[in-house]
Amino acid sequence: MKLIIGNDHAGIELKKEIVAHLHEQGYIVQDVGVDTGERSDYPIVAKAVAQAISDKEYDLGILICGTGIGMAVAADKVAGVRASSITSVPFAELFRQHNNGNVVCLSGRFVDLEVNKEIVKTFLTTEFE
């Protein structure tokens, strides 16, 4: 499975944790996010990930900002992308099962790390019904 991840300045720490966690599980993930703490424009990163998903260069995408909301709003503007802010494991499961979601948008500021790890695991392992 080919994965792509992106983040703004509010998602740097969570991005690092998620990428490390994915590597531990054997996933390869392309990182197109920012790594400096300077303010960055989340729609630019959202578009990079969304366009790569739309172009079928990657199977699933992960976006991280402060809330996950801005990334989802921006990514959903790209054809073929089904992105949503996801803050719980049941929503991650339903997002895959019922919506065939292909870009999960995480909150780097308001959701616990362990919950975010479980959201990602669920997003990557749940099939569309």
Query: Contact with ligand RB5 (CB under 6 A): which of 6, 33, 70, 101?
Result: 70
Contacts (CB under 6 A) with ligand RB5, residues 1-20: 8, 10
Query: Contact with ligand RB5 (CB under 6 A): which of 2, 66, 93, 117?
Result: 66
The DSSP secondary structure of 91-122, one letter per residue, reads HHHHHHHTT---EEEEETTTS-HHHHHHHHHH
Give yes or no: 23 in active site.
Answer: no
Residues near 122 by beta carbon (within 8 Å), at least 6 away in sequence: 89, 92, 93, 96
Active site residues: 65, 98
Chain contacts with ligand RB5 (rule: CB under 6 A): 8, 10, 42, 65-67, 69-70
